[in-house]
Amino acid sequence: MKTSGKLKGAGSAKNRRQVTEYQLGGGKIVVIDGFMSNAEAVTMSNYFDHKDFSRSMADGPKTETVKQWVFNFSKKELKGFEEKMIRDEITTYFGYKKFKIQTAICNSFAYGDASFIHVDSYKSKPCVTALMFANAEWKKDWGGEIMFFNDDDDAVYAVTPKPGRLLLFHGFIKHRAGVPSRHCYESRRTFVIKYLP
């Protein structure tokens, strides 16, 4: 993906667009397949291949000592992504009309890394988290599914990493990033933007 380009082709006829919605804990999870074409997913993957990740982010204050690999976007760099297409999807499915970007990062998990159940926001000030799987390919036995949990910490939904897929969810729904299996030699990367209304 060119940093000065657009997320071209998202939802175009050549992509098989399919939208699936789930309800959980008073919030919503929306999975949009075909948001990006395969070629765009490859471009995005290549883009992150050349970025410097640092082990600098934790899932929350209780796991502050377990840092995860992350690339933080500067405002200038994020501008090039023309993420308006993501905002349009959020307006459609979540009703947000105004947006403030809380965080824009790319996460990277490899086999052996740790992730924890957490929330991205509280119900009183709910963000919508937008997540794009930023690998050019993902094999079915590589694992790495993001898990969603109910208030009792029981796993309810899993969403498989899939190139071209956009995942949107209310940030107050408990979730945990998926760590790839031992059979996977790739890092599972996700491009994540958290939007406040």
**Residues in touch with Fe ion (CB under 5 A):** 120
Only one residue has tokens 């471009």, namely: 43
Q: State the Cα–Cα distance between residues 25 and 186, nearest whole angstrom.
A: 33
- Residue with smaller CB distance to Fe ion, 118 or 139: 118
Q: State the Cα–Cα distance between residues 150 and 161, nearest whole angstrom.
A: 21
- Residue with smaller CB distance to Fe ion, 9 or 169: 169
Q: State the Cα–Cα distance between residues 166 and 134, nearest whole angstrom.
A: 10
Question: Which strand ranges, in their side-by-side order, compose the sheet holding 166-170?
Answer: 18-24, 27-33, 166-170, 128-133, 188-196, 100-109, 68-72, 54-57
- Residue with smaller CB distance to Fe ion, 40 or 120: 120
Q: How far is the CB of 62 from Fe ion (least distance, A)?
A: 14
Only one residue has tokens 């349009």, namely: 88
Q: How far is the CB of 161 from Fe ion (least distance, A)?
A: 15
- Residue with smaller CB distance to Fe ion, 41 or 146: 146
Only one residue has tokens 């992509």, namely: 15
Judge contact between 70 and 106, C-beta under 8 A: yes
Q: How far is the CB of 128 from Fe ion (least distance, A)?
A: 12
Residue nearest to Fe ion (CB): 120
- Residue with smaller CB distance to Fe ion, 81 or 169: 169
Q: How far is the CB of 15 from Fe ion (least distance, A)?
A: 26
Q: How many residues does the chain have?
A: 197
Q: How far is the CB of 100 from Fe ion (least distance, A)?
A: 17
Q: At 173, is the secondary structure helix, strand, or coil?
A: coil
